Amino acid sequence: MLSAPEWLTLEVKDVDRMTVFYDAFLELDIVEEGESEAVLAAGDTELRLRAPGAVPRGGLHTHYALTVPEREYDDWYDRLGERFDLVEQTFGEARSLYFYDPAGNCVELGERDVDGSGVTGLFEFVLEVEELDAAVDLYERLGFETVDDGREEGRVRLTTGEFDLELWSPRLGIADARGGVHVDFGVVADDPSDVAREVADDALAVTSVEEGVRIRDPDGHYVTLVSE
């Protein structure tokens, strides 16, 4: 069984510049800072900013979504609207705003009825895949559940119950967002080794690493299963 997201990694050319950006505009706390990688806190999830280098690399042009308390949403919109050309979308009664970071990642802030202040967590990100049916099958076997099957539109939304994963055929979404390529992310699993065995025959690689079990899927994305 899968649950919470542990990290999402973005590839950036200039780690210092991007760290300053996320500190200044999203007020993310800096957990670690180095020459080739920085780690920031988006609630309990790490946002890792990694310079090009050894694999796994961070994702390119990755669309991902962060939660903010609904009572603060208007303040975030007004503040970011002074600097960015925002796109807003409503899902039911919940609003989301979209803007781009300097590396071309589409960042979404979605209002939620949550405690705390500022960015409180990561609730969604998008992977670009070549064969949508095969990718959905693999991630369902990993433990994700399909909750919105839009294959005719080239997209499928899956969930662990604690965050959503969207799989897109190459396409443009809201605010011209794209799914990330060679994305590196981590997710909590009850039994990483047992979960990994479910997809071992179809994965490009399954490797034991310090943080857990790392799987490279057929589209080149890296998902690491981490024990709680």
The CATH number of residue 35's host domain is 3.10.180.10
Q: Which pTM was predicted?
A: 0.95
Would you say residue 158 lies in a domain?
yes
If phi > 0 it is left, if psi is from -120 to 50 it is alpha, else beta; for residue 194 that is alpha
pLDDT value at position 54? 86
Determine the structural domain holding residue 216 and report its residue range: 2-56+124-227
pLDDT value at position 28? 97
Would you say residue 61 lies in a domain?
no
Measured distance CA(212)–CA(134) in Å, rounded: 24
Would you say residue 108 lies in a domain?
no
> What percent of the chain has pLDDT above 70?
100
Would you say residue 91 lies in a domain?
no
Mean pLDDT score across all residues of the chain: 96
Would you say residue 197 lies in a domain?
yes
Would you say residue 36 lies in a domain?
yes
Q: How many domains does the chain have?
A: 1
Helix (H) or strand (E) holding 16: helix 15-25
More confidently predicted of 1 and 7: 7
Give the mean pLDDT of 54-79.
97
